[in-house]
Chains A and B, each alone.
Chain A
Amino acid sequence: MTEEVLRIEGLRKAYGLLEVLKGIDLTVHRGETVCLIGASGSGKSTLLRCVNFLGYPTEGRIYLEGRLIGRESGGKMAYRESKLCAVRTHVGMVFQQFNLFPHLTVEENVTIGPIKIRGVPPAVAHEKAAEQLRRVGILDKAKDYPSQLSGGQQQRVAIARALAMEPSIMLFDEATSALDPELVGEVLVAMRKLAEDGTTMLVVTHELGFAYNVAHRVVFLHEGTIYEEGPPQEILVRPRRPRTQDFLRGHTAFRMPEPEMTPAAAVDG
């Protein structure tokens, strides 16, 4: 785990006068799963959105696969939307609200990116889509429309859609927060499988059990700064600093270590 996929240096992001991110330095290596935890409003979503430029950083540098994104001019970074489109194809994003395209079938949701952006021939794209859908265990729904699926199934399709672009890194923004409790498990199982396959992932989550069992590293974000970070066994079990301790005390439902997550156990909740 030496090769850097993502490197964030001195990232700041302000909305008007409100500075949400106050200088973030973070590196994610190939095959690594980093979990980002923190209270609501601490800037987790903002950080992810900066990484694939759904929001532009106010200051700081972002390197993807070793390449600096944007153009440097006068100590500041300048971004061109047309260039960023290409960057985003290398960064997969999974949203809290799934955001599947309701007018397209599951299969079309997954193939539209490769076909329209990469120019992959439809036959090849469909083959690859089937592979990704199988990975997340939802191949049998390929011809269905999103509205015919449960929340958990939709979210797994959204994961497959992002994977189909063969991104360097996958970003998950509270991928299970909008789901009914009994559906959370199936999505976590799918994510865990990706992590074990060696997918590079940056995961915002409130599922501390997932972080404990799957993450290589846990990062605790507090008021726009990285307040504490380290291996899950340290951060989640023996946090050193007071804010982290407070945060973890708030998560009483946290079972640790989480019972081994087999699909059957996950479905039971």
Chain B
Amino acid sequence: MAYEWDFAFLWVLWPHLLVGLAGTAKLWAVALICGLGIGLVVGIFRTAPSRILRSIGTVYVEAIRNTPGLIQLIWFYYAIPMVTGWQASAWLAAVVSLSIYTGAYSAEIYRAGIASIERGQWEAARAIGFGFGAQMRYIVLPQALMRMIPAFGNRAIELAKATTLASTIAFGELLYTAKVIAEDQMRPLETYTAVTVIFTVILLPVSYGCVWFERRLARRGGVHRD
């Protein structure tokens, strides 16, 4: 007996899915901005002359990358109220944990990008009289950022995927909304299929964009803009 597909209810309920998608987008955007900021600081720590800063960076990156994101999320969900005394907030826990998660991975992107700049560039900047900060700001980062763009694109995709973790603490993003609808309508097949399709339709073009940009960079070989 073949299953009878019926997407009619989604036609009615799509505004709910849209609200869920908006929740996903908001979480994604805030966590991405915070994560890239954290990553920049930690990435510079990881390449700094100071041994203490380097160790701090290493511990942070290793700790975050070697534990599952779900455990971090749940941990922050319970730990934030404990420290602050505020009521548990799914939104805050999701933003904090996803920012920190993205921070660790993007720190590695910054670090690798910075490390990919030849030693001669650092030395030439030093020889002119630039200090570490100025070498980084004027010479190394402008060159490295360009090379990092595809990796950041991939990181953004991974973060978009990771936002679904927030459904486990009942934050109203797309997957959580879908779960509610699926149970309510008793139509999990159609609902989860719809969610799968939505994510693919959004993320696949971004992924192709990253590949395209990477090829372009590789073809040009250099980093100069013209």
Contact = CB atoms under 8 A, between A and B. Distances in A.
A and B touch in the complex (CB under 8 A): yes
Contact of A81 (B120, B124, B131, B222): B131
Contacts of A88: 126-129
A102 interface: yes
Nearest to A109: B124
B143 interface: yes
Interface string B201-226: 00000000000000000000011111
A81 B50 CA distance: 12
B224 A117 contact: no
A145 B224 contact: yes
Interface string A77-89: 0000110011111
Contacts of A117: 128-130, 134
B123 A99 contact: yes
B224 A103 contact: yes
A116 interface: yes
B157 interface: no
B127 A93 contact: yes
B124 A145 contact: no
B120 A102 contact: no
A146 interface: yes
Interface residues of B, number: 25
A54 interface: yes
Contacts of A148: 224
Contacts of B130: 85, 113, 116-117
A54 B123 contact: yes
Contacts of B134: 116-117
A46 interface: no
Contacts of A64: none
Nearest to A52: B127
A145 B220 CA distance: 13
B168 interface: no
A85 B129 contact: yes
Most B CB within 10 A of own CB, among A95, A97, A101, A161: A101
Contacts of B118: 99
A54 B126 CA distance: 7
Contact of A85 (B123, B131, B143, B226): B131
A165 interface: yes
B138 A112 contact: yes
Nearest to A147: B222
A146 B121 CA distance: 13
Contacts of B81: none
Nearest to B121: A99
A24 interface: no
Contacts of B132: 81
A146 B224 contact: yes
Given A103-B225, A117-B134, A86 B129 contact: yes
Contacts of A89: 128-129
A11 to B, nearest CB: 18
Contacts of A113: 128-130
B112 interface: no
A99 B125 CA distance: 9
A87 B223 CA distance: 31
A121 B224 CA distance: 25
B139 interface: yes
Nearest to B220: A147
Contacts of A95: 120, 123-124, 127
Given A116-B134, A116-B138, A146-B224, A103 B128 contact: no
A162 interface: yes
Contact of B120 (A99, A116, A162): A99
Contacts of B49: 81
A236 B6 CA distance: 94
Contact of B128 (A81, A82, A165): A165
Given A89-B129, A97-B120, 19 more contacts: A52-B127, A54-B127, A85-B129, A85-B130, A85-B131, A88-B129, A89-B128, A93-B124, A93-B127, A95-B123, A101-B124, A101-B125, A102-B143, A103-B143, A103-B223, A103-B225, A113-B130, A117-B128, A162-B128
Interface of B: 49, 118, 120-121, 123-132, 134, 138-139, 142-143, 146, 222-226
